Structure formats: C-alpha cells, structure tokens
Structure 1
Amino acid sequence: MKKEDIIFSDWHRWLFGTAPPAFAFEAALRALVIFSAMLLIVRWLGRRMKGQLSISELAIILTLGAIIAGPLHLPTGGLLPSFAVLLTVLGVHRLSNWLAFKSRPAELVQQGDVALLVRNGCLELETMQNHALSQEQFFGMLRNQSIAQLGELRRAYLEANGRLSYYKLPEPQPGLSVLPPADRPPPAADGPAQGRQVCATCGYLPTPTDHAGTHCLRCKADNWVPSVI
C-alpha cells in the first residue's frame, strides 16, 4: 500500500481493509473450517496437549498458530496449502514422539531432563543458576505447595515440563524459611531449632561441631538467619 492510499477518514479501509466487504462472510466460513480442522489436529496430537506442555509441544502450538494466521483472514491465502502444512506438522510430531520413545538421547533433546533443586533441605545453587531460577521464584513455587521451610524436604525436582515435584522427610528438620522476611516466624524459644542458625543462601544447617557464624561450609556464603521448624 502506498503512502497516499492511507486516508484517515477512509472508513471502508478501517472496517474491511483492502478486501471487498463480501470477504467478511468468507472469513467467518474460513474460521469455522479451520477451527474444525484444528480440533481434529489437536486430538490427533494426543492427550498430552491437554495437559502441561513440554518444550516440543509448545513449539507445535506456536507453529499451528502461525500456520492458520494467513488463510484465516487474508484473501490471497488458500486453505489447502495450510492443511498440507498442518498434516506435515502432525507427522513430524508423531515421528519425534516415536524417536523419544525409542531413544533416551532423543527424548532429552526434545523434552529436557529433570533437575534436582533441593537435597536434604539444601538448595542446589548451581542447578538453579543453570535454569535461571532465582531463590525467590523457587520459594514462591514451594509456598504454592504449602511448604514453609526447606527442612521439610528430602528432594525437590524441577520436572522437564516445568512442574515441581518433591519428597518430604519423615520428620521435618530445622531449616530455612521460604516465607517472605516480613512473615517469617521469630527465632525458636525451644525445640530442635532453638539457637540454631541456617545459611540464608543455600539452606545449609550446621552441626554443633561446624563453625556456624563464619562462612558456610557448603556454599561459602556468610549470611546466617535463625532456623525454623
């Protein structure tokens, strides 16, 4: 479109663009056809598409959106080429799932691997850094699971689909609170957490023979807070 063709008061262009008004009815029919086709395509992609999406499945969804954008509202775009591309994407997805089923390396490339975030009440800082996950973001995920402190956890994993899974210790140990600083409980006056400090960086709880108050033996930080239970 040339610059001189853009007229602010051109209501026809505002409403219909450069297509004739009759194309609005055709666009509605195209939308109905594409919507019906998309229902079948997503159904054929499998039940996983209705759950938490993996990396490859998210890529499929974004690709499907790009494919249907043109023929949905452009009069110069045909439906048949788009359906051919949709079927190709479906075939590629089925093939990639088959490869992931047959080959562990192929599965890791497509889906990613599980990541260990907590080991016996302590944060795995290097893993969190590799996944660009800050301590506060992770603590928010734990709060959503009604976990108040790291001493409750034996293991916590970030699954390949982005969800958090965890296994608790049989008996909670003193640990680092995951609550915001303003809501953290005061230092314990009695019990196993009384007088015990925990590393605020990684959650390491020193034993009585460790040199608590200096650098953490696990992450070398010098940042201690009262433990909670």
Structure 2
Amino acid sequence: MHDHPFGFLLEVVLRTVIMFMVILIALRASGRRGIKQLSIFELVLIIGLGSAAGDPMFYDDVGILPAFVVFLVVISLYITVTRLSDRFVKIEKLLEGKPLYVIRDGKLLMDAFRDSGLSQDEFFAELRLRNVEHLGQVRTVLIETSGEFSVLFYADDDVKYGLPIFPDELQNKLNNHGNCDYIACAKCGGVRSGKDVTKLPTCAECDVCEWVEASNARRVG
C-alpha cells in the first residue's frame, strides 16, 4: 500500500469502474471497426486508450478528468481519420496499407513474399491450417491489411502439380531428376517437367537449384 490508507482501495474500485465504463463507451463510439481484427491504426487506438485508462485507476495523483479528455481527443482523431480514409483512397492506403498478393497460379511471388516479412515455414504453416497440401491447389493468396490470409482454391478438376508444403516432403530434396513426372522449386514453387532431365536445373525465377517432386493431390476438406 506504500503511504496510501486502506480507504484508498475503495477509491481504486470506484476509479476502475468509471474508467471501465469510459472504455466501453469509447469503443462503442469507434464503431464495429474497433472490435474486429485490429489494423495497425486500430492497435494505436487501443494502446492509447489503455495508457490513458490504466493510470487513473490506481494512481492517486492522476485525475480522471484529464484521462477523460485524452479519451475524447483520441476517439475524435480516430473517427476523423477513419472518415477521411473512407473518403480518400490515398489516406486509407497510407494508414492501412494494401492487400499483398503472395501467390498467383500456384507459385510464390518472391518479391511480394519478401515484403510480407514471413518466413517460408510460417507461411506454409498458415496454408496447412487451411487444408492446403501443395501449391498446385491454390490459385491466389492475399495477405490482407489486417494480417489475415485470403486463400482462393482451384476447383478439383483444375488442380495442378505444385510444391508440397509439408515439412517431410520439403526436406526430401532431389539429388537428380529422380524419374519424376514433374518437379517443383523448393523456394518459389515453380513447376516444370522432370522427364528427360539428366541434371537438375537452376530455377529461372529465383536462381536456386533445389527441387522436390511436385504433387498433384486434390484438396481434402
């Protein structure tokens, strides 16, 4: 308790109830956008509100009225900026970014993938959670501004040969052509015929010579 009397505990309870109600009202005022998957801007909002709400709950020298003013300013800024971003596309892109295409036609777009900041293991783990077995099942993958993945699949009849994304298959690198019908680059997922290949080539897309046998299994689930 330090130098505070025990009666200050009752004040802490009252302060916490007040700030709890203020947080509820503030988030309600921010609209549904404040309670879905957080964007970077919304995360700034939550951090700002949390900092303004926490101290007045138990520091006796921090008044509730200044914290309430901070809430009003933060929420006002949030509402103003979100309305501007809804009206002006450039402001929205500046604050939220834009969706990032990382796979098209079953192949990794290497420049975009590097921009995503994800490792291959992390990315493939996300795809496996969506019942993806190999990249030939996937037509398009976008990383949304919220960080969520949007995965568009090929129809079963249109599934192509693709890079398998399970660890044991990825680690099973080919030492030679291996008499495979198709081979897939272990880095970018580019697929080419493995027939009549006497020596594994260097991938023209990513300049890597690591290949695995391509899979053409249909998606399950």
TM-score range, shorter chain: 0.7 to 0.9
Per the alignment, residue 174 of structure 1 pairs with 161
In 1, Cα distance between equivalents of 2:120 and 2:161: 18
Could you say if the C-alpha distance between residues 181 and 209 of structure 1 is closer, same or farther in structure 2, counting changes exceeding 3 Å? closer
Q: 2:32 aligns with which of 36, 41, 47?
A: 47
Aligned residues: 208
User: Which runs of 5 or more residues in structure 1 are unaligned?
Assistant: 1-15, 188-192
Q: 1:77 aligns with which of 53, 58, 62?
A: 62
Equivalent residues of 2:100, 2:142 under 8 A apart? yes
Could you say if the C-alpha distance between residues 196 and 31 of structure 1 is closer, same or farther in structure 2, counting changes exceeding 3 Å? same
Equivalent residues of 1:177, 1:184 under 8 A apart? no
Deviations 1:178-204 (Å, cap 9, x if unpaired)? 11216989x9xxxxx953111000000
Please report the TM-score for the alignment, with normalisation by the length of structure 1: 0.85
In 2, Cα distance between equivalents of 1:29 and 1:40: 17
User: Which shows bigger deviation, 58-67 or 123-132?
Assistant: 123-132
Per the alignment, residue 204 of structure 1 pairs with 190
User: Which runs of 5 or more residues in structure 2 are unaligned?
Assistant: 217-221
| Higher RCO (CA < 8 A, seq sep 6+) | 2
- Alignment RMSD: 2.2
Deviations 1:141-160 (Å, cap 9, x if unpaired)? 10111111100111100000
**Which of 1 and 2 has greater Rg?**
1
SS in structure 2 at match of 1:206: strand
In 2, Cα distance between equivalents of 1:210 and 1:107: 52
Per the alignment, residue 206 of structure 2 pairs with 219
In 1, Cα distance between equivalents of 2:124 and 2:139: 16
Deviations 1:42-64 (Å, cap 9, x if unpaired)? 11111122211111001100111
Matches within 5 A, 1:60-75: 60-75=45-60
